[in-house]
Structure 1
Amino acid sequence: MSSNATSGDHRRVKSAAFLFACGCAGAAPHWLDSARSLWPAISLALMLGGYGLRSVMRGQLTRGSSASVPEIDRTTLPSLDVVVAARDEEAVVPRLVERLTSLRYPSGQLTTWVIDDGSLDRTSELLDDLAGQHPELNVIHRQRNAGGGKSGALNTALGCLTGEWLLVLDADAQLQDDLLERLVPYALEGGWSAVQLRKAVIDADRNWLTRSQAMEMALDAVIQSGRLANGGVAELRGNGQLIKRSVLESSGGFNEDTVTDDLDLSFRLLTHGALVGLLWDPPVQEEAVPGLHALWKQRQRWAEGGLQRFFDYWPVLTSAQLSLRQRWDLTAFFLLQYALPVVSFADLSTALITRSLPVYWPLSVVAFSVSGLAYWRGCRSGSEGPEIPSASLANLLVAIAYLGHWFVVIPWVTLRMSLLPKRLVWAKTSHGVEHPVQA
């Protein structure tokens, strides 16, 4: 049996067990008398609400120094590879190469790599033409059926890299010219093994959905920075992740048996004692998903990958290998992000069947309230690059309601993971909107 099949079987059993446990937790309070039915939710609301509030308020939104790097420091900056895995990206490849070749870094210390992962459009042809114009650009061509998804493409490049660090980007990434000169010193001075850039949405003004995603990215950065400040952990987000190559290789490279290489790698680094930092400014700029259908597909993949990593690494995550604060952080995050939506769905279903009122509403109210506070703080913190939408009451209400999609996505994905085998595919997001990079 292949390792993929084995992992799939184990994940299916764990998904079913998780679904059953959340179902019982959501239904059980309905059989208590009315005076005690709210106790579980109120207890969790106080415990997890305190965790969330502390994370939001303690977040340190660190900005890389905007001062020019002194010449003596520039000569000691480590070698760096910028790596992009691209599939069917003809709409953005010319813009991507333009951005990569405009990045400032010491001469001879920067190399760029783009992996054409079996594109069926003109991506391959365009990359070869651009490589002829830019000697510092290296192109790797990979068969479409080579396997491993994006992780397989990145692992193909990993064997060719010589830099001490690598920066992984998506094909739609847009960067300020001085980003590397500010990002790398921040990683070195902080002693981080990896650093995630805040993700900033370029097209927030397109519609309410892209505006909500722009606010969501700010919320995510606020919460992640707060988790770090509380002794917890931060996670990689795929686009705009700087990683020390020696640490990546000692952790086994990119996992080809997962649908979200970034989330999986975050836990693999953690189990090897390597910590991830977060940089608010400068951000990596990217396009948002413009429609509900594309958002549904994207969020299913994110939810599945998020659950996969907890199922795969939970024995280590709950062991003494991690600090008590890290274990508490991961437990609270898991309960809020993954358990709460499934428990709430079971609670609502039981309430409809028994013709009673839902009992977990106090926990949901607290979770959405803390999210609203994180939105408010993130939107008021300022941004280099694209402007974050204002924290007006209307924007906050829409963005908070938008977060409700997780209460549908995660129960559905958990049920699907419990019943169906997963075929690993590269479920890429379509790109192509032309937007100028914003400084």
Structure 2
Amino acid sequence: MVEGDSAYPYWPEGRRRKAFIFLVACLGAGAMPHLLGPIRGLFPALGAALLFGGYSLRSMLSPRHQIEEPFNALVSEALTSNSVASDSLPRVDVLVAARDEEAVITRLVQAVADLDYPKELLSLWVMDDGSLDRTPQILEKLAEQFPFLEVRRRPRDAGGGKSAALNALLPQLQGEWLMVLDADASFDPNLLLRLAPHLKLRQWGALQLRKAVEQVESSWLTRSQALEMAFDAVIQEGRIASGGIGELRGNGELLRREVLLACGGFNEDTVTDDLDLSFRLLLAGEAIGVVWNPPVQEEPVTRWGALLRQRQRWAEGGLQRYLDYWPALISAKLSIGQKIDLFVFFVLQYMLPVAIYGDLFAAVVWRQLPLLWPLSISTLSLSAFALRQAGKRSSDGPALPSSTGLTLLMANTYLMHWFLVIPWVSLKMALKPKRLIWSKTTHVGLAVPGLP
């Protein structure tokens, strides 16, 4: 990790013990209402549904003009490159950690080359993280063709995963802003010019672009992923507008270099550098903005096995950061609104999926009906509403699936995979020692004519 003063309590020790406590507490919370009986036992879930559901609905309905209005007057100016002087634009370093990316790395380099942005203000830094395929040879040829491309390499067993690969690049960078991309990323050529008004505002320590899924109509699985990514952006916009927090999502994140260095760089002791950094920025008092348009595009995951492996990593990193940073999350460093926001979404995202199994077990033991269904139904109803809201938004890049009843039903059913992933990951974290391994998603890619 890059050196920097830690301005917040960070407690990574004893993760198995903390995960075990979390698991037992959630199972117990799901089972305890059964001690009250089949009628009174519904009251806790009904109360939670009203409180958490009401907060979530308020977030989704919060006016977005608080986030977007300051940018609108400047966007039209930034869209035309001739109207924006180079000295008014920040220098941007694009960072990519690439491991076995022969299928997509050429397209990414070409996409950066096609950006309508002054080339003297733009550099692409690729860390070849011990690739075993043709990635090193392809990058060598591309570096000869594109002067803005800087390639570095490190051994495959160097450790630290993607975070360490990105950290190894930081001492060499000079850009005011860093744009972190996955190797399968694609985007519109005017991306950076459209973001120029955002980058001029010091109120943001980081920006996260909405992630848009390519090949949307390939299957119901890809359609559901497209709506899920849009759903996530809508939820985040609402959380920010109602006094909560925004979060990074890895691909398509822009970071102020000075802010990242002050936070100690990327955490090499986590499986999700983006989620961990979101908390570091939050505790450092830096706001994260979410940009709906323009988006960054990425390949969908087309097989359930690969999708579940990806989601297990996301779930583990998401829960791990709460376990690591909880002393700071309840400290005076955060506002009351931020604490409420974190608590509500921690309960709905991580506690509820585990508590349901405690509820089901107790229902069998006491021969009663499950009692958490009011909170579960409230949560699924809110997700369906957010999916519908997301599907109605205008979208640059790939068009979002039409918001028909069947499409929304399939997407909401698809989201229920988290009720399997979260409990399974919580159990693994509580019982098995963790080995930090960069378990990346395999990218298929598209050929780029005339390039390696």
Q: Which residue of 1 aligns with 2:59?
A: 55
2:217 aligned partner, one-letter code: D
Which residue type is aligned with residue 292 of structure 1? W
8 Å contact from structure 2 (residues 267, 276) kept in 1: yes
1:185-215 deviation digits (Å, cap 9, x = unpaired): 2132362010000000012211111111100
CA distance in 2, matches of 1:213, 1:250: 34
The reply on whether 1:96 has 2:108 as its aligned counterpart is yes
For residues 121 and 435 of structure 1, the distance between their equivalents in structure 2, rounded to whole angstroms, comes to 16
TM-score (norm 1): 0.95
Amino acid at match of 1:26: G
Shift of 1:281: 0.3
Per mean C-alpha deviation after superposition, the further-off stretch among 324-333 and 178-187 is 178-187
Q: Does 1:335 align with 2:339?
A: no
Q: Take 1:115 and 1:386, find their aligned partners in 2: how far apart are those partners?
A: 28
**Runs (5+) with no aligned partner, structure 2:** 1-9
Q: Answer yes or no: is the 8 Å Cα contact 1:345–1:407 preserved in 2.
A: no
CA distance in 2, matches of 1:346, 1:187: 47
Contact 2:387 2:408 in 1 (8 A): yes
2:24 to 20, 27, 32: 20
Shift of 1:9: 5.0
Q: Corresponding residue for 1:186?
A: 198
Deviates more, 1:156-165 or 1:345-354: 345-354
Q: In structure 1, what is the equivalent of residue 152 of structure 2?
A: 140
Task: State the Cα deviation string for residues 82-136 of structure 1 (Å, max 9, x = none).
Answer: 0111100001111111101111212311111111000000001100110011111
> Could you list the per-position Cα deviations for residues 142-179 of structure 1 after superposition, in whole angstroms to 9, with x for gaps in the alignment?
11011100001000111111111100000000011010
Query: 8 Å contact 2:243–2:338 — kept in the other structure?
Result: yes
Match of 2:402 in 1: 390
Deviation at 1:8, TM superposition (A): 6.5
Amino acid of the structure 2 residue aligned with 1:273? G
Aligned counterpart in structure 1 of residue 43 of structure 2, from 26, 39, 42: 39
**Change beyond 3 A, Cα 1:403–1:435:** farther
Partner residue of 1:115 out of 124, 127, 130: 127
Q: Distance in 2 between matches of 1:51 and 1:388?
A: 27
**Could you say which residue in structure 2 is the equivalent of 1:425?**
437
Residue 71 of structure 1 and its aligned partner are, at CA, apart by: 3.5
**Distance in 1 separating the partners of 2:312 and 2:111:** 30
Per-residue deviation, 1:358: 0.6
Distance of 2:142 and 2:394 partners within structure 1: 36
1:351 aligned onto 2:351:
no
Whole-angstrom distance in 1 between the partners of 2:101 and 2:254: 22
Is the contact made by 2:248 and 2:288 (CA closer than 8 Å) also made in structure 1? yes
SS in 2 for 1:37: helix
Query: 2 CA distance for matches of 1:352 and 1:433?
Result: 49
C-alpha distance after superposition, 1:277-331 (max 9, x if no partner): 0100000000111011001100000000000111111111111111110111011
Partner of 1:3: none
Structure 1 residue ranges without an equivalent (≥5):
1-5
Deviation of 1:10 (Å): 1.3
Contact 1:59 1:222 in 2 (8 A): no
Runs of 4 or more consecutive aligned structure 1 residues displaced over 3 Å after TM superposition: 6-9, 61-64, 69-74
- Kindly state the Cα deviation for residue 7 of structure 1 after the two structures are TM-superposed: 6.9
**1:406 aligned partner, one-letter code:** W
Percent identical: 54
Partner residue in 1 for 2:377: 365
Using the size of structure 2 for normalisation, the TM-score is 0.93
Q: CA RMSD in A?
A: 1.6
SS in structure 2 at match of 1:91: coil
Say which SS state the counterpart of residue 39 (structure 1) adopts. Answer: helix
Match of 1:30 among 26, 30, 34: 34
Cα distance in structure 2, aligned partners of 1:71 and 1:167: 23
Match runs of 1:197-216 below 5 Å: 197-216=209-228
Counterpart CA distance in 1 for 2:189 and 2:264 is 31
**CA–CA distance in 2 between the matches of 1:370 and 1:257?**
34
Matched letter for residue 315 of structure 1: P
Report the Cα offset of residue 34 of structure 1: 2.2
Aligned partners of 1:411, 1:81: CA distance in 2, in Å?
Answer: 39
**SS, match of residue 325 in structure 2:** helix
Q: Distance in 2 between matches of 1:203 and 1:39?
A: 45
Counterpart of 1:243 (choices 252, 255, 258) is 255
Instruction: Map 1:233-312; keep pairs closer than 5 Å.
Output: 233-312=245-324
Alignment pair present for 1:79 and 2:57: no
1:219 pairs with 2:226 = no
> Are positions 1:230 and 2:249 aligned together?
no
| One-letter amino acid of the structure 2 residue matched with residue 216 of structure 1 | E
Corresponding letter in the other structure for 2:440:
K
